[in-house]
Amino acid sequence: MPHKVNYEDYDYGDYYEYEDYDDYDYDVEDNGEAPTPASESKQETSKPRVWSCAICTYDNEEGMSVCDICGVLRTPLVNNNRKTAPFKFDVPSPDDLVSNGLHSSKTGSKGNFLDLKSSRVSSSVSEKNGSVNTRSSAKKSDIANVLMPKDKQDSVDERNSLKNEVRASSRISDSSSVVMAKDRLGTIDEGNCSNHGTVDDSISSSVDGTESSSHTGNLTSNMKNMSSTAKSGNSTNVSARKTNSHTQYKPEKWMLPDKKGDRMTQLNLAIVGHVDSGKSTLSGRLLFLLGRITQKQMHKYEKEAKLQGKGSFAYAWALDESAEERERGITMTVAVAYFDSKNYHVVVLDSPGHKDFVPNMISGATQSDAAILVIDASVGSFEVGMNTAKGLTREHAQLIRSFGVDQLIVAVNKMDAVQYSKDRFDSIKVQLGTFLRSCGFKDASLTWIPLSALENQNLVTAPDDGRLLSWYKGPCLLDAIDSLRPPPREFSKPLLMPICDVLKSQHGQVSACGKLEAGALRSGLKVLVLPSGEVGTVHSIERDSQSCSVARAGDNIAVSLQGIDVSRVMSGGVLCHPDFPVAIATHLELKVLVLDFAPPILIGSQLECHIHHAKEAARIVKITSLLDTKTGKVTKKSPRCLTAKQSAIVEVALQEPVCVEEFSNCRALGRAFLRSSGRTIAVGIVTRIIEDQQ
Ligand code: GTP
Ligand code: MG
């Protein structure tokens, strides 16, 4: 059955009629229980009531053909052998597939996943219950894992190559940094999100989406510890900001890139898509083909993966480093790696596709300039990914578009599983293309590449499999990456770096990690840390695991600071130019688009507001007007409630101040996401920062 929005927490009064939300034609599983596949039915007669999800281990009711929590199909594809003939491309609708209980392809992994049930029970419980601490302790174990004697048995070279070649753009020079770099993109602890659209002017407001399980977790502000300072610093900073408009800012010469190009343009590339579509395998294979993973290291992954009965995950292991990720066969935090193409220094942000880790995906992908949406072409899997209730394909695409990413490569992966069929590829292109256009992606900015990460077809060279070669004449994946437009960079604006994560060394050194959105940094420069309002000095900068003298807009870095109280640097904060502080506010006007399946939003609704890496408890204090989703014109003043798919101007009051800018001034700090009960229910932009009237 479809995952219906949990309306219990809301007092709808007379405003809500359930039927209004229930008549979407894509709401698929209303037709009744999905029949159990014949192959399963026998064995399940002896297993009453529940089946345990192979991915998240949630115990689903007998009648469910996909996991109620993570959307993974009940069993892996039974027959994914390309020698099986004849292959049919009579593609059922996503809904049919879900209700008919077709299987996903998890090549080579079927038995392995099922073998792991018992070891996953505890973590699945914590995920379902939304425990924040469990995940952070998982990360601790990741760190321990890397530093364990097991690793010490490896040669120093191996370890260095793993660290340097695969992971992370922002390591600090201590030994745990290899995991730190990954951690920094995976520290949003809890919750799920779904249903993203966008209210960015350039984006169509037609949205669609999914729903997800509830993970409210603790709504502890990242900045709580510094709130008092922030409040006191608030007025100073905001007023300072008023006296220093960006037009007064003159960048120094060193801040601007050398005209000849002192280094390659950095391209932050998010790898997104439904769980198990092959994102990590694709990333790992690319890194290997481009020499970022040595043959020796690859052998090691292959050997270890095989030993654990997960041979097909060898390439994914290059990205999925933690014991838990490897054991479960899923990515949990965003992994960062990099390679050089002809035109770009590419920073790969391999995102988790599992529903529980959407917030981690957001944290990483919000820094991206372009994205690869990985699609599993196998029969059943593509359809489940597209399913509005369980699939993550739509959600990831919508999120990416909401972050302002408009260049998308659609990597139609696992083409080997459909015998490189043109019909299948075309069918996927038609179905997904319609949806992507509705999200606001333009045809000219979409590149469709059929490939197989597992069989190395069409990744960095033209395919050599005759079945693909016979009909595909387009670019390979690497060429498509090279053909992306260079991302615009704010080199000549004052420094701005939203802090994604903070690393603290044992020696009391603190480093802020994130993407430099504007301006430049170098050692010795004074920076203002907000919202604490303290000024620190840049001690050193790391980019791609190596120290560098200058970092500029677009770079993904770790900045180590000195002369500052370590506790004053928090993720969700911002580094900026001392004379050009960003605003800090608790009262904002937003233009929002309410997503499909979202519960009604009322005055007084308690939500979670996400702005860049900050998340804060928020309350709707005013619904100013309802807008026409196409024209943006006001259609009604002061409506009493907002419902799914509506666009509106609202005012929110945040519990603690956040660093924010109006979207028209600064896109990076001007996008907002409203979430409730672990789901994203609205996306929007900040239209006004409202001064508090006290
Ligand atoms: P999450 O990060 O958990 O969302 O998964 P993912 O998208 O990173 O998928 P991953 O790379 O872990 O691969 C999942 C399974 O798909 C593994 O068993 C891979 O071997 C398999 N796989 C990946 N690429 C291909 C492919 O091109 N063909 C086939 N047949 N299987 C593939
Ligand atoms: Mg992965």
In a domain, 20, yes or no: no
pLDDT at 692: 60
Residue with the smallest CA separation from ligand 1 atom 20 is 312
Nearest ligand, CA 376? 1
More confident residue, 11 or 639: 639
Of 454, 483, 512, the domain-final residue: 483
The token pair at 622 is: 């005013």
Percentages helix, strand, coil for the chain (3-state, rounded to 5) are 30, 25, 45
Q: In a 10 Å sphere around its CB, with 0-12 CB exposed, 13-18 middle and 19+ buried, how is residue 196 labelled? A: buried
In a domain, 313, yes or no: yes
More confident residue, 106 or 116: 106
pLDDT at 272 over 50: yes
In a domain, 234, yes or no: no
The token pair at 11 is: 């007092």
pLDDT band at 417 (very low <50, low <70, confident <90, very high): very high
CATH of the domain at 379: 3.40.50.300
Instruction: Tell which residue, 397, 404, 359, has the closest CA to residue 571.
Output: 359
Pocket flag, ligand 1, residue 312 (CB < 6 Å) = yes
Most confident of 118-132, 338-352, 409-423: 409-423
Nearest ligand, CA 413? 1
User: How crowded is residue 665: how many other Cβ atoms within 10 Å of its Cβ?
Assistant: 16
Query: How confident is the model over 122-133, as a mean pLDDT?
Result: 28
Give the separation between CA 274 and CA 393, rounded to whole angstroms.
5
Pairing mode of beta strands 370-376, 265-272: parallel
Most confident of 81-85, 166-170, 680-684: 680-684
Give the separation between CA 220 and CA 167, rounded to whole angstroms.
29
CA dihedral over 629, 632, 633, 635, signed as positive or negative? positive
Residue with the smallest CA separation from ligand 1 atom 31 is 107
647 and 588 together in one domain: yes
In a domain, 33, yes or no: no
Instruction: Tell which residue, 617, 525, 514, has the closest CA to residue 574.
Output: 514
pLDDT band at 108 (very low <50, low <70, confident <90, very high): very low
601 and 559 together in one domain: no
What is the Å distance from ligand 2's center to 322 Cα? 12
Of 452, 483, 514, the domain-final residue: 483
555 and 676 together in one domain: no
Pocket flag, ligand 1, residue 182 (CB < 6 Å) = no
What is the Å distance from ligand 2's center to 241 Cα? 42
CA dihedral over 221, 140, 116, 282, signed as positive or negative? positive
The token pair at 404 is: 């302002």
Nearest ligand 1 atom to alpha carbon 353? 4
Pocket flag, ligand 1, residue 413 (CB < 6 Å) = yes
410 and 377 together in one domain: yes
Give the separation between CA 550 and CA 621, rounded to whole angstroms.
44
In a domain, 623, yes or no: yes
Pocket flag, ligand 1, residue 393 (CB < 6 Å) = no
What is the Å distance from ligand 1's center to 280 Cα? 7
Give the separation between CA 532 and CA 674, rounded to whole angstroms.
24
pLDDT band at 332 (very low <50, low <70, confident <90, very high): very high
Helices 358-365 and 393-402: angle between axes, nearest 10 degrees: 30
In a domain, 338, yes or no: yes
What is the Å distance from ligand 1's center to 449 Cα? 16
419 and 277 together in one domain: yes
pLDDT at 55: 57
478 and 333 together in one domain: yes
pLDDT at 60 over 50: yes
393 and 434 together in one domain: yes
What is the Å distance from ligand 1's center to 437 Cα? 26
Is the bond preceding residue 86 a cis peptide, omega within 30 degrees? yes
pLDDT at 259: 65
pLDDT at 310 over 60: yes
What is the Å distance from ligand 1's center to 135 Cα? 23
- The pTM assigned to this predicted structure is 0.66
Give the separation between CA 82 and CA 468, rounded to whole angstroms.
13
pLDDT at 126: 29
505 and 468 together in one domain: no
441 and 398 together in one domain: yes
Containing domain of residue 539, as a range?
496-576
436 and 563 together in one domain: no
401 and 297 together in one domain: yes
CA angle 152, 155, 157 (to 5 degrees): 120
pLDDT at 545: 78
In a domain, 608, yes or no: yes
In a domain, 158, yes or no: no
pLDDT at 587 over 90: yes
| Residues less than 5 Å from ion ligand 2, measured at CB | 279-280, 331
Instruction: Tell which residue, 244, 232, 247, 225, has the closest CA to residue 578.
Output: 244
Query: How confident is the model over 538-555, as a mean pLDDT?
Result: 89
Number of domains in the chain: 3
Of 576, 610, 629, the domain-final residue: 576
Give the separation between CA 284 and CA 477, rounded to whole angstroms.
14
pLDDT at 366: 80
394 in Cβ contact with 277 (< 8 Å): no
What is the Å distance from ligand 2's center to 318 Cα? 10
411 and 438 together in one domain: yes
Residue with the smallest CA separation from ligand 1 atom 22 is 278
Give the separation between CA 644 and CA 290, rounded to whole angstroms.
45
242 in Cβ contact with 35 (< 8 Å): no
pLDDT band at 231 (very low <50, low <70, confident <90, very high): very low
Tens digits of residue pLDDT in 149-198: 333 333 333 333 333 333 332 222 222 222 223 333 333 233 333 333 33
Give the separation between CA 554 and CA 264, rounded to whole angstroms.
11
Residue with the smallest CA separation from ligand 1 atom 5 is 276
CATH of the domain at 505: 2.40.30.10
Instruction: Tell which residue, 278, 282, 274, 272, has the closest CA to residue 385.
Output: 274
Query: How confident is the model over 300-317, as a mean pLDDT?
Result: 92
